[in-house]
Structure 1
Amino acid sequence: MRIAVPSEDERGLDSNVSPHFGRARFYTIVDVEGSEIRSVRVVQTPFEEHGPGDIPNFLRSLGVDMVLAYGMGVRARQFFSQMGIQVV
């Protein structure tokens, strides 16, 4: 399973979770198999500004299955739901 976490900086698992999903500049991408972390990488969002669906589509292009976030807007949740990506 590939999990995306909006992050405040490029420190990966040592980064704080960004309090606002849509304003995060970085996303920590964690590949998990069973109960083990297989890989961790940090990607920077390619958008200076973004429109509805841009970030969900970007994360989908990375093969993300799940997003862990403190909160996000209704539209982002709808996009993820339509893509079959779970939001926690």
Structure 2
Amino acid sequence: MRIAVSTETNAGLDAPVAGHFGRCPFFTLIDLETEQIQAVQVVANPFFPNHEPGQVPGFIHAQSAHVMLTGGMGGRAVAFFEQYGIRPVTGASGTVRQALECFQRGELGGYAPCSESVAHGHGHDHEHHEGR
């Protein structure tokens, strides 16, 4: 299983989880096999700091991720991820390693669209484009 985590830096497992996946500068990709880390790769977000709806979920899909762990994301992004068959998981915090451990223990698993995303939506002059 490949898990993508939105991150603020390129420090791999020690990077802080980004509060919002679409505005993060990096993604840490973790390959797991029977709950054990097999590989860790950091990739730059090609759409940082501005993106159009669907671009970042499409990029994560192209990275062959099965799960997207992040602090938060908007409702439209959730829908894009679900269309790609990628499981969106919000509420992650701390380092990538800490968020991954929480996910593996079942403490993270669902999602809730960011209230900021719902409030701003599209059509406003705002760099966040994943809201409803």
TM-score by length of structure 1 reads: 0.96
For residues 9-88 of structure 1, the aligned pairs below 5 Å read 9-48=9-48, 49-88=50-89
After TM superposition, the structure 1 stretch with the greater mean CA deviation from structure 2, 42-51 or 78-87, is: 42-51
Q: Please list the CA deviations of residues 1-55 of structure 1 after superposition, one character each: whole Å capped at 9, or x if unmatched.
A: 0000000000010000001111001000000001100000100011242100000
Larger Rg: 2
SS in 1 for 2:3: strand
The structure with the greater share of residues assigned to strand is 1
CA distance in 1, matches of 2:16, 2:46: 20
After TM superposition, the structure 1 stretch with the greater mean CA deviation from structure 2, 56-65 or 43-52, is: 43-52
Query: What is the RMSD computed on CA atoms of the aligned residues?
Result: 0.8
Structure with higher RCO (Cα < 8 A, 6+ apart): 1
What percentage of residue pairs aligned between the two structures are identical? 47
TM-score by length of structure 2 reads: 0.65
Counterpart residue identity of residue 47, structure 1: F
Runs of 4+ displaced beyond 6 Å:
none
